[in-house]
């Protein structure tokens, strides 16, 4: 507790630095001070003045030395620890380890409302730690907080991936894994819906239908699963082992429980063939690794076989790598801007243009009929929207999903990962299709029975969307 400072001079004490009487102002003694008020005490007062002068010189020397030392110390501290010192002006969230006494903290800038939010978080944290039905360690609670932060952003495409889920996601994009061969996406209502089935896969053999919802795996509900990668990790497993899956089939309003034996799946994401003279067909199920390389081979092979126009089937293609999409467009288009991107990186907003950079490998006269459905999303929409805006393609089928944003994935130190929505893209005419989708030039919906089948099982009579594409391209051949 700091006390009030004392008055340096008591009421009966002489102030040596007070102004002298007017008649003495011009008289100076040899020490440079004014003559004493009482001559009889002149010698004693002179001695006291001398002592006082010495004390003040010592005091000033000590004061100046201390000041210089302090300034040097502060300057050195800011050079080496400036960031940490500045952070002290903000707010901190601290965690302590009661066993070894270590403390850990996160620092936040001194923004309005941060102190209130941190106080609330601390209160909630303590209540859960002390009262939750299960005793959880601080490490477990911090992991839950990490998942919650990622999973509660406004974008459904921002989420946390455990190490296993991250590996499952990478395996899926490589095209090889051990599972059942059902391609699944999450719809707007949060259901995991089968939108395609790999040919000759366990899912096809079990009669899994398009539109089936996966509601439980090995008795565990999927209601708490946040993304497709987590679901895939639940379903996949060792080759030859069974997995119990509960489906809900909306068309029949019933649940179907099946034990399906896993096997190694090599997902041929791209297939192609000649449909008839002058018309080639390419089906792409995802923009995975090597998609552009395989697409280029397909285009060149079909042109060698006489294709003048192409049907490109992107139905139930949920997207994939943006760079593969751009490289595929580079095969079909001359050098030009194909999209504008707006996003954030390292705390700053940015705008950039995506461009094709090479001469097209196809003739200028080639036109594309692109097949789409409600499960066509992301890179599928970018690819189709670019070709439509540049008057190179006719879109046929159903209105698409509407994912006009892109994500980046960061692997973390423990091999877990976080996927973050970082940018939105705009088509050549300036349109964003996010939460809207692409409306086809020719809107055609498969009938109910055909819609239940995997696309690769449809006959031409059942596949009215493909039939329309052929009809339109035939007119261009005449």
- 41 CB neighbour count, 10 Å cutoff: 12
pLDDT of residue 168: 80
Cα–Cα distance for residue pair 236/208, rounded to 1 Å: 16
CATH number 3.90.226.10 is the correct assignment for the domain at 270-477: yes
At residue 77, the 3 state secondary structure works out as helix
Question: Token match 């005490």: residue?
Answer: 41
What does the pLDDT profile of the chain (478 residues) look like in tens digits? 333 233 332 333 323 333 333 333 333 332 333 333 333 434 444 445 455 555 555 555 555 555 555 445 544 444 444 454 444 445 655 555 555 555 666 777 878 888 888 889 889 999 999 999 999 999 899 899 998 999 899 898 899 998 988 888 887 776 678 899 998 988 878 899 998 898 889 999 999 999 999 999 999 999 988 788 889 989 999 999 999 999 999 989 999 999 999 998 876 689 999 999 999 999 999 998 889 999 999 999 999 999 999 999 999 999 999 999 999 999 999 999 999 999 999 999 999 999 999 999 999 999 999 999 999 999 999 999 999 999 999 999 999 999 999 999 999 999 999 999 999 999 999 999 999 999 999 999 999 999 988 898 899 999 999 999 999 999 999 7
Give the pLDDT score at 14: 29
220, two tokens: 């565990």
pLDDT of 61-116, one tens digit each?
555 555 555 445 544 444 444 454 444 445 655 555 555 555 666 777 878 888 88
Structure tokens at 410: 């960061």
Token reading at 187: 């719809």
Model pLDDT, residue 68:
52
CATH tag for 160-174+176-266 (out of 2.30.42.10, 2.40.50.1020, 2.60.40.10, 3.40.50.1980): 2.30.42.10
* C-beta pairs of 47-55 under 8 Å, 24+ apart in sequence: 49/16, 52/16
Q: CA–CA separation, 256 vs 211, rounded Å?
A: 13
Q: What is the pLDDT of residue 22?
A: 37
pLDDT at 20: 35
Beta bridge partners of 354: 339
Count of helix runs (H) and strand runs (E) in the chain = 11, 21
Q: Is the pTM of this model over 0.85?
A: no
Task: Return d(Cα 38, Cα 28) in angstroms, integer.
Answer: 15
Other CB atoms within a 10 A radius of the CB of residue 430 amount to 8
* pLDDT score at 227: 83
Domains of the chain: which residue ranges?
A: 160-174+176-266, 270-477
pLDDT at 441: 97
DSSP letter assigned to residue 66: H
- Residue 445, pLDDT score: 96
Q: Residue 77: what pLDDT?
A: 45
Encode pLDDT of 374-390 as tens digits.
Answer: 999 999 999 999 999 99
Question: What one-character DSSP code corresponds to residue 287?
Answer: B
Q: Rounded CA gap, 49 and 47, in Å?
A: 5
What pLDDT sits at residue 17?
30
């Amino acid at each position: 507790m700091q006390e009030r400072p004392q008055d340096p001079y008591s009421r009966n004490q002489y102030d040596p630095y007070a102004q002298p009487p007017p008649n003495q102002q011009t008289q100076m003694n040899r020490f440079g001070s004014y003559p004493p008020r009482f001559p009889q005490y002149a010698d004693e007062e002179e001695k006291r003045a001398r002592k006082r002068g010495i004390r003040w010189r010592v005091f000033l020397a000590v004061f100046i030395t201390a000041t210089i030392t302090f300034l040097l110390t502060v300057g050195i501290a800011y050079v080496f620890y400036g960031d940490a010192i500045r952070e002290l002006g903000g707010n901190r969230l601290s965690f302590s380890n009661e066993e070894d006494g270590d403390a850990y903290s996160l620092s936040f800038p001194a923004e309005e409302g941060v102190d209130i939010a941190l106080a609330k978080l601390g209160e909630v944290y303590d209540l859960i730690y002390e009262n939750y039905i299960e005793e959880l360690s601080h490490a477990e609670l911090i992991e839950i907080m990490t998942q919650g932060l990622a999973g509660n952003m406004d974008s459904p495409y921002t989420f946390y991936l455990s190490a296993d889920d991250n590996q499952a996601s990478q395996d899926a994009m490589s095209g090889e894994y051990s599972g059942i061969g059902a391609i699944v996406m999450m719809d707007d209502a949060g259901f995991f819906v089968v939108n395609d089935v790999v040919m000759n896969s366990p899912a096809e053999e079990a009669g899994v239908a398009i539109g089936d919802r996966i509601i439980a795996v090995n008795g565990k509900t999927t209601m708490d699963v946040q993304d497709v990668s987590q679901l895939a990790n639940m379903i996949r497993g060792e080759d030859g082992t069974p997995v119990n899956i509960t489906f809900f089939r909306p068309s029949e309003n019933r649940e179907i429980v099946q034990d399906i034996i896993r096997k190694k799946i090599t997902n041929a994401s791209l297939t192609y063939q000649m449909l008839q003279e002058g018309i080639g067909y390419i089906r792409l199920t995802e923009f995975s690794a090597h998609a552009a390389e395989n697409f280029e081979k397909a285009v060149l092979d079909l042109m060698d076989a006489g294709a003048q126009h192409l049907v490109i089937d992107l139905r139930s293609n949920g997207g994939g790598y943006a760079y593969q999409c751009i490289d595929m467009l580079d095969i079909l288009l001359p050098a030009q801007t194909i999209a504008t991107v707006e996003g954030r990186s390292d705390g700053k907003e940015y705008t950039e243009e995506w461009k094709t950079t090479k001469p097209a490998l196809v003739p200028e006269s080639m036109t594309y009929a692109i097949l789409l459905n409600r499960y066509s999303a992301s890179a599928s929409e970018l690819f189709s929207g670019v070709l439509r805006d540049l008057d190179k393609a006719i879109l046929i089928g159903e209105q698409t999903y509407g994912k006009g944003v892109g994500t980046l994935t960061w692997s973390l130190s423990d091999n877990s990962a976080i996927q973050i929505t970082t940018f939105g893209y705009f088509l050549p005419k300036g349109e964003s299709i996010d939460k809207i989708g692409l409306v086809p030039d020719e809107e055609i919906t498969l009938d109910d029975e055909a819609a239940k089948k995997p696309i690769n099982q449809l006959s031409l009579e059942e596949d009215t969307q493909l039939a329309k594409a052929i009809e339109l391209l035939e007119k261009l051949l005449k």
